[in-house]
């Protein structure tokens, strides 16, 4: 049942986002092993400018509701919350992949140690949310105005440095979207609220955006590869930044439209529980892809990518529902009481959702 503290369109937009994120890994992971390109490569290619910026922008939408809290409570909700899941699932992932499957205890200990300073695998997103939350609080504490932060963050994103530190690289690439979400939140909320009762105008606007985005991404110069793509004109840094923000806002509008349909309740639920999928999808993805290729029953890159996508999304959801039914193991998706540092923290996390939902559920 939908919590009254939540905004359905936000969860619906996050549902779209988590599907796009898993789709990217499903397509590129499959392409890496088949050496081919499938139809999902072109779908995710369209979303290249805004796929990850959308998640970070949504995560920043509710920052204004918590950023002025006392440091201890803020750190508990916006830093420790994410670090708990990062540490837990980094241990699980590295333990399984390196310690058990590769039978390399020394390599496992090395990767665990490196995971402290270098975000591990797909968990980099959760790691960076903790970093972004801390940096945003410090900027607020020292009174740095948005008109200074946003241009500097935008310049950093367009510069796109590639230092030895993966954390620094990802900070440069995505902090601007997190902070823009924070600053532009009132505008985004008003835009979604305005478009919801005007579906025809909203659809027309989304179609126009989709055409422009698609033409710029697939303009001359683009190249599709099994494990990635080179965009056309959209690769120009200022244009890439513009398309990223436009695409993120477009997905919010689309979430607002879809959230009004009862048939889209599954998508809203998926967005509300996006953490469940995000932290756990790589394990069934690798197992299923390996088994499918070994069996020889499914070798077409496009169809195999689609099958991998479905298994990668459905498997974590099934695991979550089983754990919920059994009543043991919820610490995998909900932060337990001992993992809080704030005395006013609830006994259990009210939601198993990722970034924005976590912010919504911690308004008090």
Per-residue pLDDT of the chain (364 residues; tens, 9 = 90+): 455 567 999 999 999 999 999 999 999 999 999 999 999 999 999 999 999 999 999 999 999 999 999 999 999 999 999 999 999 999 999 999 898 888 889 999 999 999 999 999 999 999 999 999 999 999 999 999 999 999 999 999 999 998 989 999 999 999 999 999 999 999 999 999 999 999 999 999 999 999 999 999 999 999 999 999 999 999 999 999 999 999 999 999 999 999 999 999 999 999 999 999 999 999 999 999 999 999 988 889 999 999 999 999 999 999 999 999 999 999 999 999 999 998 764 444 333 345 443 434 343 3
- Is 307 a domain residue? yes
**Cα three-residue angle 158-242-161, rounded to 5 degrees:** 15
CB 309 within 8 A of CB 21: no
* pLDDT reported for residue 1: 46
- Please tell me the predicted confidence (pLDDT) of residue 3: 52
CA–CA dist 61, 268 (Å, integer): 17
In a domain, 356, yes or no: no
> Is 351 among the domain residues?
no
In a domain, 181, yes or no: yes
Has residue 278 been placed in a domain? yes
Which structural domain, as residue segments, surrounds residue 41?
8-339
Establish if 354 belongs to a structural domain: no
> CA–CA separation, 347 vs 343, rounded Å?
10
Q: Which of 1, 23, 51, 27 is nearest to 251 (CA)?
A: 51
Residue 225 counted as domain residue: yes
The DSSP call for residue 132 is H
Token representation of residue 144: 């740095």
Q: What angle do CA 37, 317, 43 make, to 5 degrees?
A: 25
- Please check whether residue 254 lies inside any domain of the structure: yes
CA atoms of 352 and 4, how far apart (whole Å): 16
pTM, 2 dp: 0.91
State how many domains the chain has: 1
> Is 249 exposed, middle or buried (CB count within 10 Å of its CB: 0-12, 13-18, 19+)?
buried
């Amino acid at each position: 049942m939908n919590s009254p503290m939540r905004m359905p369109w936000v969860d619906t937009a996050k549902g779209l986002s988590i599907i796009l994120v898993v789709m990217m890994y499903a397509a590129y992971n499959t392409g890496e092993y088949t050496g081919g390109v499938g139809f999902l490569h072109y779908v995710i290619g369209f979303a290249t400018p805004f796929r990850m910026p959308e998640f970070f922008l949504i995560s920043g939408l509710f920052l204004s509701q918590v950023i002025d809290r006392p440091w201890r409570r803020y750190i508990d909700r916006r830093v420790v919350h994410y670090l708990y899941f990062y540490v837990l699932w980094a241990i699980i992932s590295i333990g399984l992949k390196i310690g058990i499957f590769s039978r390399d205890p020394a390599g496992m200990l090395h990767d665990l140690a490196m995971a402290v300073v270098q975000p591990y695998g797909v968990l980099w997103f959760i790691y960076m949310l903790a970093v972004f939350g801390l940096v945003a609080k410090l900027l607020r504490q020292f009174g740095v105005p948005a008109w200074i932060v946003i241009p500097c963050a935008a310049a950093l994103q367009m510069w796109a440095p590639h230092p030895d530190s993966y954390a620094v690289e990802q900070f440069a690439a995505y902090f601007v979207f997190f902070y823009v979400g924070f600053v532009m939140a009132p505008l985004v909320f008003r835009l979604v609220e305005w478009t919801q009762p005007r579906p025809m105008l909203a659809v027309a606007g989304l179609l126009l955006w989709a055409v422009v985005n698609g033409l710029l991404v697939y303009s001359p110069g683009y190249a599709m590869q099994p494990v990635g793509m080179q965009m056309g004109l959209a690769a120009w840094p200022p244009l890439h930044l513009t398309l990223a923000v436009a695409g993120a806002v477009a997905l919010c509008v689309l979430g607002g439209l879809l959230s009004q349909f009862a048939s889209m309740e599954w998508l809203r639920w998926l967005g509300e529980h996006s953490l469940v999928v995000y932290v756990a999808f790589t394990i069934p993805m690798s197992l299923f892809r390996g088994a499918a290729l070994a069996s020889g029953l499914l070798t077409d890159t496009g169809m195999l990518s689609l099958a991998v996508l479905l298994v990668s999304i459905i498997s974590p959801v099934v695991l979550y529902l089983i754990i919920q039914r059994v009543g043991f193991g919820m610490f995998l998706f909900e932060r337990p009481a001992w993992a809080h540092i704030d005395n006013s923290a609830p006994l259990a996390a009210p939601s198993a959702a990722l970034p924005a939902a976590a912010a919504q559920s911690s308004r008090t």
